[in-house]
Chain A
Amino acid sequence: MSKILRLNMSNQTAKFEDVPEKYKFLGGRGLTSSMTCDEVPPDCHPLGPNAKIFIAPGIVSGASGPSSGRLSVGGKSPLTGGIKEANAGGLASQKIAKLAIKAIALEGQAPAGKFFTVVINKDGVKFLPADDLVGKGMHEVDKVLWQKFPNKPAIIGIGPAGELRLTNAGVSVNDMENGPGRYAGRGGLGAVLGAMGLKAIVIDDKGGPGVTIADPETFKKEAKKLAEALLSHAVTSQGLPTYGTAILVNVMNEAGGLPTRNFTAGRFEGAAKVSGEMINEMVKLRGGAGRVGHACHPGCVMKCSNIYPRPDGTAHTSCLEYESAWSLGPNCGIDDMDVVAELVRICNDVGVDTIEAGVAIGVAMDGGLLSFGDGPGAIKLLSEIGKGTPLGRIIGSGAAFTAQAFGVTRVPVVKNQAMPAYDPRAVKGIGVTYATTTQGADHTAGYTIAPEILGVGGKQDPLAPTKGELSRAFQATTAFIDSTGYCLFIVFAILDVPTGYEGMVGSVNAMQGSNWTADDVIKVGLEIMKRERQFNEAAGFTNKDDRLPEFMRVEKLPPHNVVFDVPDEELDLVNKF
Chain B
Amino acid sequence: MTKSTETVAVHLYGRFRQLAPDKRTDADSVVRLTAEEGDTIARILERLGISAAETSNIFLNGELSALTRKVNSGDRLGIFPSDMALLYKWYFEKKD
Chain A: residues with CB nearer than 8 A to chain B?
234-235, 238-240, 242-243, 245, 247-248, 250-251, 254-257, 266, 272-273, 277-278, 280-281, 422, 426-430, 447-448, 450, 470, 474, 492, 495, 559-560
Residue of A nearest to B82 (CB): A234
- Which residues of B in the span 59-94 have a Cβ within 8 Å of any Cβ on A? 59, 62-64, 78, 80, 82-88, 90-92
Chain B: residues with CB nearer than 8 A to chain A?
11, 13-14, 25-28, 56-57, 59, 62-64, 78, 80, 82-88, 90-92
Q: List 19 A-B contacts (CB under 8 A).
A: A234-B56, A240-B86, A251-B84, A254-B59, A254-B62, A255-B59, A255-B63, A255-B78, A266-B62, A272-B26, A272-B28, A273-B26, A280-B25, A281-B25, A426-B62, A427-B91, A429-B91, A447-B88, A448-B90
Q: What's the A-B contact tally at a CB cutoff of 8 Å?
A: 80
* B86-A245 in contact (CB<8A): yes
* A242-B83 in contact (CB<8A): yes
* A278-B84 in contact (CB<8A): no
Return chain B residues, CB-CB under 8 Å to A238: 82-83, 85
Alpha-carbon gap, A257 to B64, bound state (A): 12
Q: Which of B64, B85, B90 contacts A234 (CB 8 A)?
A: B85
Secondary structure type dominating chain A contacts: helix
Given contacts A277-B25, A278-B25, A427-B92, contact A251 B87 (CB under 8 A): yes
Shortest beta-carbon distance from A24 to chain B in Å: 32
Shortest beta-carbon distance from A431 to chain B in Å: 9
Shortest beta-carbon distance from A452 to chain B in Å: 11
Secondary structure type dominating chain B contacts: mixed
Return chain A residues, CB-CB under 8 Å to B91: 422, 427-430
* B59-A272 in contact (CB<8A): no
* A235-B11 in contact (CB<8A): no
Q: Which of A248, A272, A560 contacts B25 (CB 8 A)?
A: A272
Given contacts A234-B56, A272-B27, contact A474 B90 (CB under 8 A): yes
Shortest beta-carbon distance from A308 to chain B in Å: 15
Interface centre among A238, A239, A248, A470 (most CB of B within 10 A): A239
Shortest beta-carbon distance from B69 to chain A in Å: 15
Alpha-carbon gap, A266 to B62, bound state (A): 10
The 5 closest A-B pairs by CB, nearest first: A256-B62, A254-B78, A429-B91, A238-B83, A273-B26
Alpha-carbon gap, A248 to B86, bound state (A): 7
Residue of A nearest to B93 (CB): A429
Residue of B nearest to A447 (CB): B88
Shortest beta-carbon distance from A326 to chain B in Å: 14
Shortest beta-carbon distance from A334 to chain B in Å: 14
* A430-B85 in contact (CB<8A): no
List 13 additional A-B contacts (Cβ < 8 Å) besides A239-B84, A251-B57.
Answer: A239-B83, A243-B84, A245-B86, A250-B13, A254-B62, A255-B78, A272-B26, A280-B25, A422-B91, A429-B91, A430-B91, A470-B90, A560-B62
